[in-house]
Structure 1
């Protein structure tokens, strides 16, 4: 079975101040953020990987740029957050696990190569950076066995930050879908993961990619930093 990949790209991305959807922002090497993500997917999983993009804001521009992808529409893109975009994608997915990423992350191709080992053994995971812990980012803690325990922006004494590249195993997907249905419209998908860990006993392994680059592009200065790597 080919690997199922989801890119969450429904949001308006207003903080960056561009007219097009943020994933179509051009990098210094001439590729867009999303094209860099597609290239990384192919490098790690080959041409057989199935990519589904969750769209909303100005969706026609993304569809035109990536006609080879499949699409899921979040018609409430201006009223909901990533929890509901991921929910739609998981509900539309085939049997099997799903790897997903935020559509505004510029990252080292090796991040997916490293993640592919856990995908191969169908282990749910959250990619993390332990080199920094910023107040405004999604942070995490682990339990006694080393699996993710807390995962949110309000975590205290976090061990690091989630970078926006994650995987849910086949056996865990139904429980995550139920929790994503329960969370508030404005919640991030991490809230669904956290509830599934707490209430359903799901085990998400932290995958440390601190030695690799991964930049979430929210503001102009983030884009400048991302362009230092590509």
Structure 2
């Protein structure tokens, strides 16, 4: 079955201070952030992997740069957060499980290689980095069985950070979408995962990639750090 992948790229990315959508930011190797993501997806899953990109801010620039993938438009990109962008994409990908990522993450190609076994087993997961816990990032805790418990920027006592690359199984997708529908427009998609865990009994495994690089590019210093790896 063809893997469904989603890239969330609707936001304005104003903190980086560029006029183009943040996923089009050029890296030191000449590729854009989004091109690096496409290359990583194709390297791990082949050319048959279906990529659906959620666009909003200056959507035409992304569509022009990557004309051969599928698109979902979030016309309310300036009024909503990743929860609503992801909901639109999940609705467009049928009943299958979905791998999704934030459109501003520069990451080691081996991250997806490590995820293949869980994807083939159709098991929901969130990639995590346990080597640091920053106040501004999405943090997590786990249950006694080792599954994700809390997942947000306000978690107290977090044991690591979420990287921004995740998978929802075909079995868990319906519950997750229902919770994304419920959450506030300004909520991140992690709120939908938290509610699916608490109210629907969804079990999400943390996938530790602490030994690999994954940089969410919000500020100029993040871009400098990402360029050390590519």
- Range class of TM-score, shorter chain: over 0.9
- Secondary structure of the 1:170 match is coil
Once the two structures are superposed, residues 146-178 of structure 1 have per-residue CA deviations (whole angstroms, 9 ceiling, x without a partner) of 100000011111010000000000000000000
After the TM superposition, which parts of structure 1 deviate over 6 Å for at least 4 consecutive aligned residues? none
2:13 corresponds in structure 1 to: 13
**Partner Cα separation in structure 1 for residue 166 and residue 72 of structure 2:** 18
**Partner Cα separation in structure 2 for residue 129 and residue 139 of structure 1:** 9
Count of matched residue positions in the alignment of Structure 1 and Structure 2: 230
1:92, distance to aligned residue in structure 2 (A): 1.0
Matches within 5 A, 1:1-230: 1-230=1-230
Once the two structures are superposed, residues 156-214 of structure 1 have per-residue CA deviations (whole angstroms, 9 ceiling, x without a partner) of 11010000000000000000000000000000000000000000000000000000000
**Partner Cα separation in structure 2 for residue 147 and residue 63 of structure 1:** 37
1:117, distance to aligned residue in structure 2 (A): 1.2
C-alpha RMSD of matched pairs (Å)? 0.4
Is the CA contact 2:102–2:164 (under 8 Å) kept in the aligned structure 1? yes
- Secondary structure of the 2:165 match is strand
1:116, distance to aligned residue in structure 2 (A): 1.4
Q: Which runs of 5+ in 1 are unaligned?
A: none
- Secondary structure of the 2:162 match is strand
**Partner Cα separation in structure 1 for residue 196 and residue 38 of structure 2:** 29
TM norm structure 1: 0.99
Q: Which runs of 5+ in 2 are unaligned?
A: none
1:95, distance to aligned residue in structure 2 (A): 2.0
Is the CA contact 2:72–2:88 (under 8 Å) kept in the aligned structure 1? yes
